[in-house]
């Protein structure tokens, strides 16, 4: 019983930790212009249906409307936006297809 008492906190800690790299895999999507919606601009609609509002891009990369892209990203949960569509994201790598 004592072993379980000492081992239980370790199990709780191990299973409560989550991967901080949300969306760390590579995804494909399309750059879309959503300036018609309040507070929105250029967005990326992933092939899985997720919409991203990119607020951080790799240096020198410019998003071009209606282009297909391949990217890696991290969601930025500590930021807010007036755009009601999509999740705020830092794009860590991106290239056109």
pLDDT (tens digit per residue) in 37-78 = 888 999 999 999 999 999 999 999 999 999 999 999 999 999
pLDDT confidence bin for 3, thresholds 50/70/90: low
Domain count, the chain: 1
Query: What is the average pLDDT value for the chain, to the nearest integer?
Result: 82
What are the angstrom distances between the C-alpha of 18 and each of 9, 12, 14, 71? Answer: 16, 12, 9, 22
Structural domain boundaries, residue 62: 22-96
Is residue 39, in this structure, part of any structural domain at all? Answer: yes
Do 43 and 86 touch, CB atoms closer than 8 A?
yes
Is residue 69, in this structure, part of any structural domain at all? Answer: yes
Is residue 28, in this structure, part of any structural domain at all? Answer: yes
Report pLDDT for 37. 86
Is residue 62, in this structure, part of any structural domain at all? Answer: yes
Assign residue 58 the CATH number of its domain: 2.40.50.500
45-54 pLDDT, tens per residue? 999 999 999 9
Is residue 66, in this structure, part of any structural domain at all? Answer: yes
What are the angstrom distances between the C-alpha of 71 and each of 10, 40, 55, 81? Answer: 36, 20, 14, 21
Is residue 31, in this structure, part of any structural domain at all? Answer: yes
Length of the chain: 97
Is residue 61, in this structure, part of any structural domain at all? Answer: yes
Token look-up 């008492």 returns 5
Is residue 4, in this structure, part of any structural domain at all? Answer: no
């Amino acid at each position: 019983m004592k072993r379980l008492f000492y081992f239980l906190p370790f199990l709780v800690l191990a299973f409560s930790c989550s991967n901080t790299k949300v969306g760390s895999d590579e995804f494909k999507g399309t750059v879309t212009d959503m300036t018609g919606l309040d507070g929105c601009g250029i967005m990326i609609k992933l092939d899985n249906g997720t919409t991203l509002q990119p607020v951080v891009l790799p240096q020198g990369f410019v998003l071009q409307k209606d282009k297909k892209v391949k990217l890696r990203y991290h969601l930025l949960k500590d930021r807010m936006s007036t755009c009601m569509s999509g999740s705020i994201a830092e794009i860590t790598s991106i290239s056109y297809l």
